[in-house]
Amino acid sequence: MTDEILERVEEIKARGFAQAREGNDPVNEPMIRHWTEAIGDTNPRWTPGPDCEAPPAMAQVWTMPGLNPERPPGEPLWDTMVVLDGAGYTSVLGTNCDQTYARTLRPGERVSISSRLEEVVGPKATAVGEGYFVTTRNTWTVGDEEVASMLFRVLKFKPGTGRPTVDRSKTVRPLVNRDSAFFWEGTAKGELRIQKCNACGVLRHPPGPVCPSCHAMDRGYVVAAGRGHVHSFLTHHAPVVPGKQLPLTLALVELDEGVRMVGEVDSDIAIGDVVEVWFDRIDDDLTLAQWRRPGDAPEAKPEETSDLPAWELPLTPTLVVSTALATRDFQDVHHDRDLAQGHGSKDIFLNILTTTGFVHRFVTDWAGPQTQILSCALRLGAPAHPYDTLVFTGDVVSESDGVTTIDVTGKVSLGNHVNARLEVKLP
């Protein structure tokens, strides 16, 4: 940390809790409706009417500053953001959100927030770029009553300094023709096929129209056993190959059947090593034959089980944008793809308040609408982009004194999007 950043951060920390700031609007039915529609939460307790309650995951929404906020001087998170912006750390990502809820809120209540800066850690090299983790402690009050609290951590990073993300959909496509179509149809089925001359029986690779041995054009194929040894290999460091993480190891594999094939190897290899084929499905149109040493095959994972029935949520741009706005989060990375890409992201992505809302909905859809959520500690991982699917699973971890602890995982194609632990009182 540079001395200047350190000095400013220490000064902000030393201030302690800032003066409470009241939310722009009281808790109100229209904003609750907007939220429940965007999140798709049909819990009848959130239905407008005389008994309407606000979803606990909305705690932060009531004091969000808005699209063009006039920041009151002295707000610790904002002041810290300004310091880091000035040093070039201009992008922000929510990473952790640990909330506790004393009770639900009701329309008409006026919520205030007070926060203090807990710590700033960095600079750290992260997948998205070099940055600082900024943690604040926030409490929400109605009058003198504390109704909810939150430990909130964001990563403030320099765009363009992260590891380049690999877009597998950009993988270079093979030229498929009448001679080679059988090979790619094979990989799609998990078969490694070798062209065979139907006249003399000689095997050949790469495929071609004519037998090099007897010049017959009548051709078929055999399915290889999928084992061979490394005849030669090279490691490619540059230039960039679309869809591939560098460095990339390419081997000339001599199959037990006698032909040689060029393929990617995902192992540390030496010449003569025995390798076996595996099939890397890129998409519906392309499956690549790859190689690895037999001992390097990932262990077969046991069938995943979940106490809570899995929930598959298709992610669309509309979902990402509508939920961001319903949570009053106007960060451009949640609604403007061009600007999101300018910040080094592949596309827009779900915001942390929305993920919190989905996690709550997942648990209460299972446990029942009267379930009382006491706390939710949530850690974000891989971003949830449109056109992906977010799959929630959950397990009951423990039960004591009427409090049930539930772990929830939300996965996207890039990995775990969220890990959360909730404490709830079941009805």
Residues that bind Zn ion (CB under 5 A): 197, 199-200, 202, 211, 213-214, 216
Nearest to Zn ion of 213, 398 (CB atom):
213
**In the complex with Zn ion, which residue's Cβ is closer, 203 or 426?**
203
Give me the least distance between CB of 199 and Zn ion, in Å please: 5
Residue 384 beta carbon to Zn ion: minimum distance, rounded to whole angstroms:
54
Q: What angle do CA 122, 123, 128 make, to 5 degrees?
A: 110
- Nearest CA to 153 among 77, 75, 65? 77
Rounded to a whole number of angstroms, the minimum distance from the CB of residue 340 to Zn ion is 56
Smallest gap, in angstroms, from Cβ of residue 178 to Zn ion?
A: 18
* Residue with Cβ nearer Zn ion (214 or 223): 214
Task: In whole angstroms, give the CA distance from residue 311 to residue 306.
Answer: 10
Q: Looking at beta carbons only, is 213 or 370 nearer to Zn ion?
A: 213
Peptide bond into 309 cis (omega under 30): no
Residue among 47 and 180 whose Cβ is closer to Zn ion: 180
Length of the chain counted residue by residue: 427
> Which of 196, 360 has the CB closer to Zn ion?
196
CA separation for the pair 262, 250 (Å, rounded): 7
Burial class (CB in 10 A: 0-12, 13-18, 19+), 18: buried
Six-digit token string for 414 = 């890039």
CB of 179 to Zn ion, least distance (A): 15
How far is C-alpha 171 from the chain's CA centre? 21
> From the CB of 288, what's the least distance to Zn ion, in Å?
28
CA distances, 275 to each of 187, 220, 264, 290, 298 (Å): 17, 25, 11, 10, 14
Nearest CA to 76 out of 121, 131, 130, 119 is that of 119
